[in-house]
C-alpha cells in the first residue's frame, strides 16, 4: 500500500504541475458547452425529424401521403409508436406519424415550435393526398440542445483524459527510461498500473464536477436525474477507457505511434457515439457499429440520467457492458505489459 500511495501521489503532483494540460482539461469542455449553448439554443433551428410508423400490409394505408415526399425533412421508420412518442416528448423527434388504414394519425409536442410548423405542412398536404390525418398531442419537458449536449461533452472529455492521460503518459515513461528505473524497485506492475488508474480516475471525476458546477452557473442546464448516478456512470466509463489506454501503452515505446493509435480510437468514437447529434434516422449499420464503442454506452447512460431522470437500474445494461469491457481490457493490459 505504501508503494501504491507513493506512485499515486507522484502522478497527481505531476499532473498539477503541468499547468497547460490541467488548464486545457478544465477549459476545453467548458468552452464548448458555453459556445454551443449560444449557437444552438435558439428557437430558429431548421432541422426536422419525423418518425413514421408503418403497420403491416393489411393494416397500412393504400396510398402513402405526399407529405412523405417533402424535401428538407428527414423521415425514418420506427417499429413501435410508444417508443417514438417518448422521444417526441423529449424533443428527440419533431413529429410521429402512423399510417394505419382508415385511421392515420400524427402526434406533435405542444411545446415544440418545430412541431407546429410541421403540422401546418401536414394540414396543407391532407387534401392533396386525399387522406385524413387525426391530430394527437403529447406534452413533455422541453430539452434544449445544450441540455442534451452536456452529457456527450462530459463523456468525450472523460474519453480524452482517460486515453491520452494514461496511455500517452505510460509510453512517455517507457521512452524516457522511467519504467526501467521503477522496474529496479520492489514495485510490481500491478501496483504501478493501479496507481495510474486510481490517480487518473480521481482527476477525471474532479474535473467533471468542476465543469458541471461552472456550467450550472452560466448555462443553467436541466438535470432530471441524480448527480450520484451520473458520477457512477462517468466513473465506470472512465475505468473502461483507462483500461483501453493501458492496452495501447502495454508495449509501445514511440510517442508518435501511440498518438496515432489513440487518435484512431478517439475520432470514430467522438463522431459516431452520439456526442454531437442523435443517431436516430441514420444508417442502421452505423447504429450497430456504434454499439461496439465504450463511449456510446457511457453517453447513452449519462444522457438518460440527465435528460430523462433514469436510475442506475434503468441503465444497468450499459453499465454491465462497460464493466465487462473493463475486465477484458485490464486482463489484456496485464498480460501484454512490459517495463521496457
> Model-level pTM greater than 0.85?
no
**For 62-67, which contacts have Cβ atoms below 8 Å and span 24 or more sequence positions?**
62/101, 63/129, 63/130, 63/131, 64/99, 65/99, 65/104, 65/125, 65/126, 65/129, 65/131, 65/133, 66/125, 66/128, 66/129, 67/97, 67/121, 67/122, 67/125, 67/129
Q: Positive or negative, the Cα torsion across 247, 250, 255, 261?
A: negative
Question: Residue 168 gets which letter from DSSP?
Answer: I
pLDDT in tens, the chain (340 residues): 777 777 777 777 766 676 655 665 666 666 666 655 554 555 444 468 888 887 765 454 545 566 777 777 878 888 888 888 888 877 778 888 888 766 678 888 877 778 878 877 766 654 434 456 667 767 666 667 677 788 888 888 888 888 888 887 888 888 888 888 888 888 887 788 888 888 888 888 988 888 888 878 877 777 888 999 999 999 999 999 998 988 888 887 777 777 778 888 888 888 788 887 777 766 678 788 888 899 999 999 998 898 888 889 999 999 999 999 999 998 888 888 887 7
Closest alpha carbon to 203 in 153, 164, 259, 150 = 164
Amino acid at each position: 500500500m505504501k508503494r501504491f500511495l507513493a506512485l499515486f501521489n507522484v502522478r497527481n503532483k505531476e499532473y498539477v504541475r503541468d499547468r497547460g494540460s490541467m488548464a486545457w482539461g478544465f477549459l476545453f469542455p467548458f468552452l464548448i458547452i458555453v459556445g454551443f449553448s449560444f449557437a444552438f439554443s435558439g428557437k430558429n433551428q431548421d432541422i426536422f425529424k419525423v418518425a413514421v410508423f408503418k403497420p403491416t400490409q393489411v393494416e397500412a394505408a393504400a396510398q402513402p401521403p405526399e407529405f412523405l415526399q417533402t424535401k428538407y425533412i428527414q423521415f425514418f421508420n420506427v417499429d413501435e409508436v410508444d417508443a417514438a412518442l417518448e422521444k417526441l416528448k423529449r424533443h428527440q423527434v419533431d413529429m410521429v406519424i402512423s399510417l394505419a388504414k382508415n385511421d392515420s394519425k400524427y402526434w406533435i409536442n405542444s411545446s415544440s415550435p418545430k412541431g407546429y410548423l410541421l403540422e401546418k405542412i401536414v394540414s396543407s398536404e391532407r387534401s392533396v393526398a386525399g387522406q385524413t390525418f387525426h391530430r394527437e398531442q403529447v406534452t413533455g419537458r422541453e430539452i434544449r440542445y445544450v441540455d442534451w449536449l452536456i452529457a456527450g461533452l462530459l463523456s468525450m472529455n472523460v474519453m480524452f483524459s482517460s486515453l491520452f492521460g494514461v496511455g500517452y503518459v505510460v509510453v512517455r515513461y517507457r521512452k524516457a527510461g522511467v519504467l526501467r528505473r521503477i522496474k529496479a524497485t520492489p514495485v510490481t506492475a500491478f501496483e504501478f498500473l493501479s496507481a495510474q488508474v486510481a490517480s487518473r480516475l480521481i482527476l477525471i471525476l474532479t474535473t467533471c464536477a468542476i465543469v458541471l458546477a461552472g456550467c450550472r452557473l452560466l448555462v443553467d442546464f436541466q438535470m432530471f436525474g441524480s448527480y450520484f448516478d451520473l458520477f457512477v456512470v462517468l466513473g465506470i466509463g472512465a475505468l473502461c477507457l483507462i483500461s483501453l489506454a493501458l492496452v495501447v501503452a502495454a508495449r509501445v515505446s514511440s510517442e508518435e505511434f501511440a498518438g496515432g493509435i489513440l487518435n484512431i480510437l478517439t475520432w470514430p468514437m467522438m463522431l459516431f457515439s452520439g456526442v454531437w447529434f442523435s443517431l436516430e434516422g441514420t444508417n442502421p449499420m452505423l447504429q450497430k457499429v456504434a454499439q461496439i464503442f465504450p463511449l456510446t454506452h457511457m453517453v447513452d447512460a449519462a444522457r438518460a440520467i440527465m435528460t430523462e431522470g433514469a436510475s442506475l437500474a434503468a441503465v444497468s445494461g450499459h453499465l454491465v457492458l462497460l464493466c465487462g469491457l473493463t475486465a477484458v481490457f485490464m486482463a489484456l493490459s496485464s498480460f501484454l505489459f512490459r517495463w521496457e
